[in-house]
Chain A
Amino acid sequence: MMTRPDRKRPTRRSVIAGGGSIVVSFALLSQAFAQEGEVQGAAPPQPKPKLPGSLADDPWLDAWIRIDADGAISVFTGKAELGQGVKTAILQIAAEELEVDPTAIRLVTADTGQTPNEGYTAGSQSIQNSGTAIRHAAAQVRELLIGQAAAQWQIPADQLRAENGKVIRSDGQTLDYGSLVSTEIMHVEARPQSRLKTPGSFRIMGKPMKRVDIPAKVTGTPIYVQDMRLPGMVHARVVRPPRPGATLTALDPSAVERFPGVVAVVRNGSFLAVVAEREFQAIQAMRLLETAAQWSEGMKFPNPSEFIQSLKTRPAQQGVVAERGQPGAASAQSFQATFTRPYQIHGSIGPSCAVALLESGTTRIWSHTQGVFPDRAAIAEMLGVPAEQVHVVHVEGSGCYGHNGADDAAADAALIAQAVPGRPVRLQWMREQEHVWEPYGPAMLTEVRASLDQSGRIAEWNYDLWSNTHSTRPGPAGSLIAAQSLPAAFKAPPAKLSISPSGNGDRNAVPLYTIPNMRVIWHFLPEMPLRVSALRALGAYANVFAIESAMDELALTANADPVEFRLRHMDDPRGRAVIEAAADGFGWSRDRLPDDRGRGFAFARYKNLAAYLAMALEIEVERETGRCRILRVVAAIDSGEIVNPDGIRNQTEGGIIQAASWTLYETVTFDESGITSTDWSSYPIMRFGSVPASIDVRVMERPGEPFLGTGEAAQGPTPAAIANAIRHATGRRLYDIPFRAEKVKAAIGV
């Protein structure tokens, strides 16, 4: 079985279209995608009463939940499963409020033909937005059904309750949901208030539920887009130029066309691909095609040795992120430092893949994109067709961690499909294509200048950061590599500086600590020497690294314990609570550790508006080589109301290990001829021999509080906790990520 839109069942569109009301078409058109802080330009529509979560963008209950006459329940989310466990959490939420078993629900995720438009699955917002919407929608549907039963039985609704797909009255009589439902009652706009279940009455939420996707993943059941096999499907590979900006100057495809199994060589401007019957034939033909193509020089890469410092001197626009009090007064006890992070990759283990089929004028694309709707818009623009002729369905891929090659692969497949109409095209990137062509997490440089007052409190804080935008996601066709390669090339839209609460390059640039005088500036760099976009946590990774490193140095200057120093500046009780929980769980103390060991602490509230996370870790530095090994980590996280505690732990453990790998090992390398980190040997990441001995994630109980985005909460604190632990172990402060052995050794000396 493949994950495909179920064509036997009527889609929401067809059901609603059958009703034929004007209001309905309005419901479908009111799809705007702009709730992600990292999306620039599109302003969200402002509904009159602010509805909870994504209901604000699509208020119709039947856009989210459908119950058929036979009692079958479908829940629709515009969010996609990226391996973060969102399907399971959303099922828990919907089942809880609908009073049904999670197995009774069919969950439909991101599909331009079926689900609400929830923009991108990004920014740790799935539960905050979609989860909240579905929770309220489910609660309101439940109340509607109870109300319907009350009307049938002619008794007050408050004498009825819902349970296991039925409405039950005190004498035990029941009515199935299916018998109560009708198009009219479901097709209503949500109200701002819902009768949500209280935490004490939860059956499913707040308890660990086994992920619904894992059994398939461990048995080889075809659930990834990479596993799709459609009748008549062919395999494609693209051939990219040696470096961006190079154009195809000459091509002799004859040998490739004669190669066994080759169906077509696709050339469209500088877009080059080959299609074959079998996958390995396509790969062999691609290698052959590489030798048959000649390219112009293309862009020149910057000098790598001077690159990171050059960020400060490149053309920049200034954005004031925060300003309070009167910063600028110098103080004797001050700290000043520059921190950097390099370009880093998403590095999904499975290179990007998509399947596309052009049939009867419509191009259907199965993709692991984070945003089926924006991707549809971009691909339709590239193909020069109305959006209705492009249908994008999310199918799981390898983990994404932000804007990787998924959208580009979808566009590649769509373009290739135009050349072989009627045949589904499965396109997968090669490893080196993913390493070289995915948009990287932007390199950043930050400067902290802070000073203490007489009492050992931070008196002023100046922070400057230099960064590109962290989002060049599609929407416009110009953000797609394929569209940029066409004869009438689409241009990447110019990046714009935008300061928003959730932040972009400036995400988490403002410390959550109480500091009277503060100035935070984003020196926005519109030019992108290397192609960049969203990598998990965006600017929060570099900003929290700098802030929390500086906090430790200031604590040292103030002769204070790092944990106590943070608490001294933390007024938010939930911030204090995670800091205390992490310190207690770790057994934080100032006791002497064995030689070459150190402990480090860090804290951040992701985006300053999502989950709170504090962590303490112990590290061992091998003095002879500079290799660092994290021994143990204790983290405390406050995600608001807990949906799936094990899901939160899984995401947080993963975030810590991934961010530790970024911090200790990872940097994109290039020379003036191009990218030189093209595989796992030239771009190493953490392997089993280096993972910590233990990671202990403690989830705070916050019944009744709103959901807080969790998936990226560990990315910022991790590099700082590592740097602080190395500082403690060696007496040396590291400012430049990654902390590879060579660099640490150089800092330690002989």
Chain B
Amino acid sequence: MTLLRIVLGLVVILAIGTAAFIGYAWHSRLDPIDPPAKASLDAKLLARGAELAAIGNCNVCHTAPNGEAFAGGLGIPTPFGTIYSTNITPDPETGIGRWSEEAFSRAMRKGVDREGRHLYPAFPYDHFTLVSDEDNRALYAFLMTRKSVSAKSPANQLPFPFNVRMLLAGWKALFFREGPYLPEPGRPAEWNRGRYLAEGLGHCGACHTPRNRLGAEISDQHFAGAEIENWTAYAIDSGSPAPLPWDAESLAFYLRHGWHDRHGVSRGPMAPVTANLGAASEADVKAIAAYVAEVMGRPSKERLAQGEAALAAARQEREAAPLRRTGETGNGAGEAIFVSACQGCHDGRRPPPFGGLNLHLSTAVNAPNAQNIINVTLYGLPAARGEPSAMMPAYRGVLNENQLVALLDYMRERFSRQPAWTDTRERVSSTLRGERKVPVYRMDGTTHAPPETSMRTAPWP
């Protein structure tokens, strides 16, 4: 009896659950349309859409290396397999030309395509859901007036069960909270604007917040820093490893220009972000900076003092006669490499973006691991095409494992107050062997220049 009741109860619960789940998971197919003519769209709306698309960084994921802008086809590695970005040009057959504005807004808000299928959260609708209808309208207008490109993206490479899209309903039930953004009352308009952009369209957390095993951002480690594509996205909360604490002003400058003379240049996956933000509205970027600076919080007196000390050390090295061996640490090999190969540019005599940052001011040497320095040391910073930009030569082919480890240990010891890194050799070795695949990005955006369509490039040998 009891057993039967329990079984019946479970069946009922399962039935109700399934019905509810299907109700949650099922979305209607929206009717196709004919793509709107450019002339029918308001020029101001288009311009706004362009600025918003820059904040959304749409071009970076939706453009394949050497491919046409927004035509998709970039393979995005995830722990579950490779997902290929879609064509979001107005091509009717392979792009979103048949999508109505409603279908576009629904994709942004709910993470489903026009056919009603669930989208993988590699498309960060967990952030884009916050975007307002008005901004979606502008984004839609912008995308529907791009050059129409016929390009079919490759099929995703996902093993079972990750290739079952219906499962995404479960993922959404667990991790997805639908927007739009509701302003927090009592907060300044700029803060709300910044939060709306940073948490929504800007999707900063997609890289800067660590993810759980199901690929969802861990909400209580918001902005705590993460690794993405074998680059470290630094913590941008109170744990920011920047030796000189950021403030709203320095952040805004950095985000708009791609460099700051006391923080260095943006590179790796952040390079296209800052390159794009150069084309966004200044007010929006300032709002993002104001919000993120507040998340970072007011630095402690101790941190401020350390920042001042770092600045003073950098200033002293800039003004003093060039040193040869400094003899400050016992790491002879690393020191010799640093002094002879690195110091010439990194003594701070010439400030970023064209000169190297004095490493007393480097976030990278204070980071929890050496990966970003490994990446830029081995692959360098490849110049933007035909635009002024930061550059750095690649040392792949020169430095062997022992030499690079010695150099990194020396840099950490000399320029950071943090304890020595513990996993440097493993990181160096797996990167040198190619087991850690590091995408290399051009340095567009360290001036006002617009980013190249795809800034991903082969490493400069």
Q: B449: nearest residue on chain A (CB-CB)?
A: A742
| A291 adjacent to B321 (CB under 8 Å) | yes
Is A624 engaged at the interface, CB distance under 8 Å to the other chain?
Answer: yes
Q: Residue B383 contacts which of A255, A292, A681, A741 (CB distance < 8 angstroms)?
A: A681
Distance, CA A745 to CA B50, complexed state (A):
12
Q: B48: nearest residue on chain A (CB-CB)?
A: A750
| A690 adjacent to B387 (CB under 8 Å) | no
Nearest-Cβ distance from residue A664 to partner chain B, whole angstroms: 6
Contacts of B388 in A (CB 8 A): 669, 677, 681-684
* B19-60 interface with A by 8 A CB criterion: 43, 46-47, 49-50, 59
Is B336 engaged at the interface, CB distance under 8 Å to the other chain?
Answer: no
Is B285 engaged at the interface, CB distance under 8 Å to the other chain?
Answer: no
Q: Residue A596 contacts which of B147, B354, B389, B452 (CB distance < 8 angstroms)?
A: B147
| B354 adjacent to A679 (CB under 8 Å) | yes
Contacts of B70 in A (CB 8 A): 624
| A686 adjacent to B354 (CB under 8 Å) | no
Q: A678: nearest residue on chain B (CB-CB)?
A: B354
Candidate in A287, A624, A686, A690 with the most chain B CB atoms within 10 angstroms: A624
Q: A738: nearest residue on chain B (CB-CB)?
A: B386
Distance, CA A288 to CA B320, complexed state (A):
9
Distance, CA A544 to CA B344, complexed state (A):
43
Contacts of A677 in B (CB 8 A): 388
| B321 adjacent to A690 (CB under 8 Å) | no
Distance, CA A292 to CA B319, complexed state (A):
11
| A624 adjacent to B387 (CB under 8 Å) | no
Q: Residue A665 contacts which of B142, B321, B322, B386 (CB distance < 8 angstroms)?
A: B386
| B49 adjacent to A681 (CB under 8 Å) | no
Q: B142: nearest residue on chain A (CB-CB)?
A: A750
Contacts of A292 in B (CB 8 A): 321
Is B198 engaged at the interface, CB distance under 8 Å to the other chain?
Answer: no
Q: Residue A741 contacts which of B49, B59, B322, B386 (CB distance < 8 angstroms)?
A: B386
* A723-750 interface with B by 8 A CB criterion: 740-742, 745, 749-750
Number of A-B contacts (CB under 8 A): 88
Is B384 engaged at the interface, CB distance under 8 Å to the other chain?
Answer: yes
* B356-401 interface with A by 8 A CB criterion: 383-391
| B321 adjacent to A288 (CB under 8 Å) | yes
Contacts of A664 in B (CB 8 A): 386
| A745 adjacent to B450 (CB under 8 Å) | yes
Is A511 engaged at the interface, CB distance under 8 Å to the other chain?
Answer: no
Is B117 engaged at the interface, CB distance under 8 Å to the other chain?
Answer: no
Contacts of B47 in A (CB 8 A): 749-750
Distance, CA A679 to CA B344, complexed state (A):
15
| A684 adjacent to B386 (CB under 8 Å) | yes
| B450 adjacent to A742 (CB under 8 Å) | yes
Contacts of A8 in B (CB 8 A): none
Distance, CA A624 to CA B70, complexed state (A):
9
Distance, CA A292 to CA B50, complexed state (A):
51
Candidate in A255, A625, A679, A740 with the most chain B CB atoms within 10 angstroms: A625
| B390 adjacent to A742 (CB under 8 Å) | no
| A627 adjacent to B452 (CB under 8 Å) | yes
A750-B49, A750-B50, A750-B142 as given contacts; A680 in contact with B449, CB under 8 Å: no
Q: A624: nearest residue on chain B (CB-CB)?
A: B69
A288-B322, A740-B449 as given contacts; A680 in contact with B386, CB under 8 Å: no
A665-B386, A750-B46 as given contacts; A622 in contact with B69, CB under 8 Å: yes
Nearest-Cβ distance from residue A446 to partner chain B, whole angstroms: 24
* A644-677 interface with B by 8 A CB criterion: 664-665, 669, 677
Is B425 engaged at the interface, CB distance under 8 Å to the other chain?
Answer: no
With an 8 Å Cβ cutoff, the count of chain A residues facing the other chain is 35
Q: Is the interface of A mostly helix, strand, loop or mixed?
A: loop
| A625 adjacent to B383 (CB under 8 Å) | no
* B318-367 interface with A by 8 A CB criterion: 319-322, 324, 354
Distance, CA A627 to CA B384, complexed state (A):
11
A624-B146, A750-B50, A750-B142 as given contacts; A689 in contact with B385, CB under 8 Å: yes
The 8 A CB mask of A444-487 against B (1 = contact, 0 = none) is 00000000000000000000000000000000000000000000
| A665 adjacent to B387 (CB under 8 Å) | yes
Nearest-Cβ distance from residue B377 to partner chain A, whole angstroms: 17
| A682 adjacent to B450 (CB under 8 Å) | no
Q: Residue B387 contacts which of A284, A287, A740, A750 (CB distance < 8 angstroms)?
A: A740
Q: B59: nearest residue on chain A (CB-CB)?
A: A624
Q: A739: nearest residue on chain B (CB-CB)?
A: B386
Is A595 engaged at the interface, CB distance under 8 Å to the other chain?
Answer: yes
Contacts of A665 in B (CB 8 A): 386-387
Q: Residue B321 contacts which of A255, A627, A740 (CB distance < 8 angstroms)?
A: A255
Contacts of A749 in B (CB 8 A): 47
A291-B322, A740-B387 as given contacts; A595 in contact with B147, CB under 8 Å: yes
Nearest-Cβ distance from residue B176 to partner chain A, whole angstroms: 31
Nearest-Cβ distance from residue B333 to partner chain A, whole angstroms: 20
Is B210 engaged at the interface, CB distance under 8 Å to the other chain?
Answer: no
Nearest-Cβ distance from residue B454 to partner chain A, whole angstroms: 10
* A687-717 interface with B by 8 A CB criterion: 687, 689-690
Distance, CA A473 to CA B451, complexed state (A):
41
Nearest-Cβ distance from residue B460 to partner chain A, whole angstroms: 10
Is B453 engaged at the interface, CB distance under 8 Å to the other chain?
Answer: yes
| B452 adjacent to A287 (CB under 8 Å) | no
Distance, CA A507 to CA B452, complexed state (A):
37
Contacts of A682 in B (CB 8 A): 354, 388
Contacts of B387 in A (CB 8 A): 665, 684, 740-742
Is A78 engaged at the interface, CB distance under 8 Å to the other chain?
Answer: no
Q: A289: nearest residue on chain B (CB-CB)?
A: B321
Candidate in A292, A681, A682 with the most chain B CB atoms within 10 angstroms: A681
Contacts of B385 in A (CB 8 A): 627, 684, 687, 689-690
Contacts of A291 in B (CB 8 A): 319-322
Contacts of B450 in A (CB 8 A): 624-627, 741-742, 745
Nearest-Cβ distance from residue A429 to partner chain B, whole angstroms: 17
| B59 adjacent to A742 (CB under 8 Å) | no
Contacts of B389 in A (CB 8 A): 681, 684
Q: B148: nearest residue on chain A (CB-CB)?
A: A595
Contacts of B145 in A (CB 8 A): 750
Is B222 engaged at the interface, CB distance under 8 Å to the other chain?
Answer: no
| B386 adjacent to A284 (CB under 8 Å) | no
Contacts of A678 in B (CB 8 A): 354
Nearest-Cβ distance from residue A117 to partner chain B, whole angstroms: 41
| A741 adjacent to B449 (CB under 8 Å) | yes
Contacts of A312 in B (CB 8 A): none
Candidate in B70, B322, B383, B388 with the most chain A CB atoms within 10 angstroms: B388
Is B137 engaged at the interface, CB distance under 8 Å to the other chain?
Answer: no
Nearest-Cβ distance from residue B280 to partner chain A, whole angstroms: 13
Q: B384: nearest residue on chain A (CB-CB)?
A: A684
Candidate in B50, B320, B390, B449 with the most chain A CB atoms within 10 angstroms: B449
A684-B383, A690-B386 as given contacts; A625 in contact with B46, CB under 8 Å: no
Contacts of A750 in B (CB 8 A): 43, 46-47, 49-50, 142, 145
Contacts of B386 in A (CB 8 A): 627, 664-665, 684, 686-687, 690, 740-741
Is A623 engaged at the interface, CB distance under 8 Å to the other chain?
Answer: yes
* A468-521 interface with B by 8 A CB criterion: none
Is B315 engaged at the interface, CB distance under 8 Å to the other chain?
Answer: no
Contacts of A626 in B (CB 8 A): 450
Q: Residue A681 contacts which of B324, B390, B451 (CB distance < 8 angstroms)?
A: B390
Nearest-Cβ distance from residue A239 to partner chain B, whole angstroms: 13
Q: A667: nearest residue on chain B (CB-CB)?
A: B388
Distance, CA A741 to CA B387, complexed state (A):
8
Q: B44: nearest residue on chain A (CB-CB)?
A: A750
| 20 residue pairs bridging A and B, Cβ less than 8 Å apart | A291-B319, A291-B322, A596-B147, A624-B59, A624-B69, A624-B70, A624-B147, A624-B453, A625-B453, A627-B386, A627-B452, A677-B388, A681-B389, A682-B388, A686-B386, A689-B385, A741-B386, A750-B43, A750-B142, A750-B145
Counting from the closest, the 4 A-B pairs by CB-CB distance are A665-B386, A624-B69, A681-B391, A625-B450
With A284-B322, A681-B383, A681-B389 known, 8 other A-B pairs at CB within 8 A are: A622-B453, A624-B146, A624-B453, A625-B453, A665-B387, A677-B388, A684-B387, A687-B386
